[in-house]
Chains A and B, each alone.
Chain A
Amino acid sequence: NAGVTQTPKFQVLKTGQSMTLQCAQDMNHNSMYWYRQDPGMGLRLIYYSASEGTTDKGEVPNGYNVSRLNKREFSLRLESAAPSQTSVYFCASSEAAVGLSNQPQHFGDGTRLSIL
């Protein structure tokens, strides 16, 4: 059972470089999410997509862009990486949809990103 798959698992970037983090889910879920996790800060929502073709900002969207490529895939792009974006990034998906919004989220194992 693959569930939510994130690539790459690790990456080191230099300040100013760009990068796209990939996420794919095989559970036919409607909603997908990107979080970052920093020590003492918990998980903070960057962007989410409630359905194919829609995206919305979360708590900390600045410096990021997203694309919901199709129902399975949701990518996160850093256009010009900054050291403050060093973090662990998690993708999640859920069955949540219009009229069925209160559903648990299922997470991938993360991408560990360091920006020097």
Chain B
Amino acid sequence: QKEVEQDPGPLSVPEGAIVSLNCTYSNSAFQYFMWYRQYSRKGPELLMYTYSSGNKEDGRFTAQVDKSSKYISLFIRDSQPSDSATYLCAWGSSYKLIFGSGTRLLVRP
């Protein structure tokens, strides 16, 4: 079993839609959780970072962590064409991060 499972997509939605991206993980030793956004031919860019279970909001983005179910989600409200990218979930323990393989999102104008 992979340490991190993420649906590769692609996920295609109309502009203005609410997007839900999800990841599951298997290792309960993971201590912190992140979402990265990666545009084509660019490096991953940190979007959200949290230690704890529950919700964390930043503008149109909300990260939700459920440690008991080993499940994290990223919600994007009022999605824009500029949100079209690959979204990577990541889990950390000590110095290292484990990444999901990414979900490709396309927001249609």
In whole angstroms, how far apart are the Cα atoms of A108 and B46 in the complex? 12
Residue of B nearest to A102 (CB): B32
Q: 27 A-B Cβ contacts within 8 A? A: A31-B95, A40-B8, A40-B101, A42-B4, A42-B101, A43-B88, A45-B96, A48-B95, A48-B96, A50-B95, A58-B96, A90-B43, A92-B43, A94-B95, A101-B94, A102-B31, A102-B92, A102-B93, A102-B94, A104-B46, A104-B49, A105-B97, A106-B46, A107-B36, A108-B43, A109-B43, A110-B42
In whole angstroms, how far apart are the Cα atoms of A81 and B74 in the complex? 38
Residues of chain B having any CB pair with chain A under 8 Å: 4, 6, 8, 31-32, 34, 36, 41-46, 49, 51, 88, 92-97, 99-102
Within 8 A of B (CB), among A82-116: 90, 92, 94, 96, 101-102, 104-110
Q: Which residues of A contact B34 (CB under 8 A)?
A: 104
In whole angstroms, how far apart are the Cα atoms of A40 and B46 in the complex? 20
In whole angstroms, how far apart are the Cα atoms of A32 and B84 in the complex? 28
Q: Which residues of A contact B95 (CB under 8 A)?
A: 31, 48, 50, 94, 96, 101
Minimal beta-carbon separation of B8 from chain A (angstroms):
7
Q: Which residues of A contact B36 (CB under 8 A)?
A: 107
Residue of A nearest to B6 (CB): A42
Report the 4 A-B pairs with minimum CB-CB distance, sorted nearest first: A107-B43, A42-B101, A43-B99, A42-B99
Q: Which residues of B contact A106 (CB under 8 A)?
A: 46
User: How many chain-A residues does the 8 Å CB contact rule pick out?
Assistant: 23
In whole angstroms, how far apart are the Cα atoms of A10 and B94 in the complex? 32
Q: Which residues of B contact A109 (CB under 8 A)?
A: 41-43
In whole angstroms, how far apart are the Cα atoms of A96 and B8 in the complex? 29
